Amino acid sequence: MRVSRNIAIAALLVISAFGAGAATIPAGSHATVRLNTSLSSATANAGQPWSGTLTRDIIAHGKVVARAGDGVRGKVTYVNRSGRLHKPGELSLRLTSIKGERVYSSRVTRQGKSHTTSNATKIGGGAAAGALIGGLAGGGKGAAIGTVAGAGAGTGVAAATGKEEVTLPAESVLTFTITGSK
């Protein structure tokens, strides 16, 4: 009798352990996360880990399965460094765990601002300034030469100052959709 009772207790413990280990964060849940450190497309590398905390409870079937303040971990999945005159920086992140439980999530991607407006302003401004100075110094021919020289100078300024990296400062809040767990 004692052996049967011990087996029954052991069976209940095993069943409850499997129930506790089952996926508790269901697919479709939204995890809103605050980053602990900053990330930048200028310095981050694909595969780089990051950490943060939940900002809101995750509720499934009327029960809280993860609480605001619980730790999360993730990784950088894609980095594209900015070019000087085109191609702004880009950074993609995914969640890998919530309070130690392995999860799979949607990707969150952020991109630096476009180069187009900034470059047009610098190059166009250089060309206009060159035309004005050239026109004052040498008339029509000087204005034409000044325009070309000014546009060249503006392009140089755009190339020297043109990187448009994306930076996610510490304390940034991102929302991921859970696609699976375990």
Which CATH class, in words, describes the domain spanning 2-115+162-181? mainly beta
* Weakest mean pLDDT among 12-21, 32-41, 59-68, 121-130: 12-21
For 102, residues 6+ apart whose C-beta sits below 8 A from its C-beta are 96, 181, 182
Average pLDDT over residues 12-27: 57
pLDDT at 164 (0 to 100): 86
pLDDT at 8 (0 to 100): 52
Q: Residue 14 — pLDDT band, cuts 50, 70, 90?
A: very low
Residue 101 has pLDDT above 50, yes or no: yes
Q: What percent of the chain shows pLDDT beyond 90?
A: 53
Predicted structure pTM score = 0.62
Average pLDDT over residues 11-29: 61
For residues 25 and 98, the answer to whether their CB atoms sit within 8 Å is yes
For residues 76 and 51, the answer to whether their CB atoms sit within 8 Å is no
Taking the mean position of all CA atoms in its chain, how far away is CA 113? 13
- Per residue in 114-167, pLDDT (tens digit) is 544 544 454 455 445 544 565 556 556 655 664 555 445 544 544 444 568 999
Give the residues across from 93 on adjacent strands: 76, 108
pLDDT at 181 (0 to 100): 84
